[in-house]
Structure 1
Amino acid sequence: MSNEGLYIFTSINRPPRKLIDAFVGMPSAAIADNMNRMSCMNATIRPINNLPLLGPAFTVKSHPDDNLLLQKALDLAQPGDVLVVDAQGDLTNPVMGKLLALWSKQRGIGGFIIDGAVRDIGALRRMDVPIYAAGTALTMSYKDRPGKINVPVTCGGVVVNPGDILVGDEDGIVVINPRDADDLLIQSKNKIRVEQKIMNDIEKGTLDRMWIEEALKARRAVIINDNRNSPRVNVDAPVTIIIKGSAEPIHATAINMSMDGILLQVEQPLEILSQIRLCLSKELGNINIVANVTWQQYNNFGCEFVDIAEEVRAILDHVIYRHSQFGRLECLDIGY
């Protein structure tokens, strides 16, 4: 009979215990912030009993609804090892329950991370063995399917190798290659110090928030300060600007518009707080309207309409309604 799919490697290269213990009490989020958004298990793996987890990975690749290899791994693992079970995220049958958890406690196992289902939740929550899993199921597991022990596995969307350092808490689980552990430990401690300073600044009321403005400026954000109570629609239509005392009209593009004002994109700068006359194109109602220039962001200018006559307001209302319902129209039949 072939043994394809049934391999058991009995030993692993464990990191020095001193290196593992250096991560005691280290928040998983502080570590994750220094891992370039990599090697962090996804949110499908959640804590069952909210106990922090720390230890070297002892991996099991099992058939989705079978725990034969997990049973064997519990006998092979050393105290402090964390059993990482790749059950392919299947939630049909649980691969462990209270009996295995109790046996693992007797053996000093460091915890479980199961990309699959568990059961006996009430009992598991009362045990002081850290247990993380993808979900729960009620039925029994099989004990006759293939699997492997101490091979690379996938858990929570991340590859876990035997001997990797695992750190878990209520936020999630990070997987640390032992070769990276020393540098990661230094970076994580620095991250904690930075966050502590931020918290102190918040309490003192001295927190510097200018980085937000700098980030928005670098991304050329358009900041609109006008009243947004009325519906606003994207229009992308030509507009002609008439400035008193200027012989030449200015050509602009309307970006969006409401009953209260219009956002224009203009290559030629407009004077803030100046009053201008706008000649709106046919798709915007073919009307003339007076507006005040209220703000500027790069070549975008916000304008607030002034003294709108009732007949003009009716046309604007119709234009905005049509654009909100049908999008940009090349030719708008107003019907007035």
Structure 2
Amino acid sequence: MSVVVRNAPRTDAEVVAGLGRFGVATVHEAQGRRGLVDPRLRPTFRPTHVAGTALTCEVAPGDNWMLHVAVEQARPGDVLVVSPTSPCGDGYFGELLATSLRAHGVLGLVIDAGVRDIAELTAMGFPVWSAAVSARGTVKQTVGNVQTPIVCGGVLIRPGDVVIADDDGVVVVDRHEAPEVLASSRAREAKEAATRDRLAAGELGLDIYGMRDALAAKGLRYVDATPVDRAGR
């Protein structure tokens, strides 16, 4: 049986906005290097950055029928996340669906499949992270699921989870853990800002990060050049 779950819960908008101030790399590190979608999914144009709540959609190979069903469940601030039940690189999505999603407040698309109309999507500034680009179209014959847990790019994504996507890729934060991840992201950003100032002042990462003892334990030794070496002979 295929289902559409209506009125699925979303992460609090203020928490989403807070996480949206950080890049994918920062959030990924802040939550223990979890939630990173397979790097096969790349943005169709750069620079780009979105943060929103997951509107999930499971589709059949070569069939985009359920994307139209998903639009009805969209809320402003959502990111549509799509995964086929088996691998498919067909062009599920293009300019017309992007126009429809934008009218309902959807911020972007993450899809473990193909898209098309890249020039038009770029011109309209609709962000897409996809596994492929393909002009091959799809049919509308098979039903799937909307707003149910799916696996996209190797990551389990539940409706309402936070999706952050930028030039570096896509990371997902469980909506139940989002406030804690936001606090960790803020702490990491503050730490990196302090480190950046020290590096800019000329300090070495070797000393800031306390690497010297660990390198020595691994057998790294420093030796001075001989007089012959210094003469270049």
Q: Specify the TM-score bucket, using the shorter chain as the normaliser.
A: 0.7 to 0.9
Structure 1, residues 28-73: CA drift from partner, whole Å, max 9, x if none? 1111112222111120111113321111111001112111001110
Other-structure match for 1:143: 140
Amino acid at match of 1:199: R
> Residue 31 of structure 2 corresponds to which residue in structure 1?
35
Match of 1:72 in 2: 69
Q: Does the Cα contact within 8 Å between 2:113 and 2:131 map onto a contact in 1?
A: yes
Say if 2:11 is the partner of 1:15.
Answer: yes
Answer yes or no: is the 8 Å Cα contact 2:20–2:50 preserved in 1. no
Aligned to 1:213: 212
State the number of aligned residues: 221
Higher helix fraction: Structure 1 or Structure 2? 2
Conserved? CA contact 2:161–2:172, under 8 Å: yes
Matched, 1:101 2:98: yes
Secondary structure, counterpart of 1:20 in structure 2: helix
Indicate the SS of the match to 1:133.
strand
**TM-score, normalization by structure 2:** 0.88
- Counterpart CA distance in 2 for 1:47 and 1:15 is 24
Once the two structures are superposed, the pairs formed by residues 95-134 of structure 1 within 5 Å of their partners are: 95-134=92-131
Deviation at 1:191, TM superposition (A): 1.0
**Contact map agreement 2:20 2:51 (CA 8 A) in 1:** yes
C-alpha distance in 2 between matches for 1:151 and 1:66: 18
On the 8 A contact 1:89/1:134 being kept in 2, the answer is no
What are the within-5 Å matches in structure 2 for residues 206-245 of structure 1? 206-207=203-204, 209-210=206-207, 211-217=210-216, 220-223=217-220
Is 1:58 aligned with 2:55? yes
Question: Which stretches of structure 1, 4 residues or more, deviate above 3 A after TM superposition?
Answer: 88-92, 224-227
Aligned to 2:231: none
Q: Which amino acid aligns with 1:212?
A: M
Point out the more displaced range, 128-137 or 58-67. Answer: 128-137
Deviation of 1:89 after TM superposition, in Å, equals 7.0
**CA deviation digits over 1:60-109, x for unaligned, max 9?**
01112111001110122112111110125734421111111112122221
The answer (yes or no) to whether the contact 2:42–2:169 under 8 Å persists in 1 is yes
Kindly provide the CA deviation profile for residues 236-283 of structure 1, in whole angstroms up to 9, marking residues without a partner as x.
Answer: xxxxxxxxxxxxxxxxxxxxxxxxxxxxxxxxxxxxxxxxxxxxxxxx
- TM-score, reference length from structure 1: 0.62
Q: Which structure is higher in strand share? A: 1
Provide, for residues 197-223 of structure 1, a one-character-per-residue CA deviation record: whole Å limited to 9, x for no partner.
222112211345232212223xx3123
SS of residue paired to 1:8: coil
**Distance apart, 1:155 and its partner CA:** 0.9
Output the CA distance in 2 between the equivalents of 1:138 and 1:86.
Answer: 18
- 2-structure distance, mates of 1:49, 1:106: 21
CA contact (8 A) 1:56 1:162 kept: yes
Identity of paired residues, percent?
27
**How many angstroms apart in 1 are the aligned matches of 2:70 and 2:180?**
31
Distance 1:15 1:118 in 2: 27
Distance change >3 Å, CA 88–CA 214, structure 1 → 2: farther
Higher RCO (C-alpha under 8 Å, 6+ residues apart): 2
**Letter in structure 1 aligned against 2:41:** I
Shift of 1:226: 7.4
Contiguous gaps of at least 5 residues in structure 2? 225-233
CA RMSD between the two structures: 1.9
Using a 3 Å threshold, how does the CA distance of structure 1 residues 105 and 208 change in structure 2: closer, same or farther? Answer: closer
Where in structure 1 are there 5+ consecutive unaligned residues? 228-336
Contact 1:65 1:90 in 2 (8 A): no
Q: Does 1:165 align with 2:162?
A: yes
- Take 2:104 and 2:30, find their aligned partners in 1: how far apart are those partners? 34
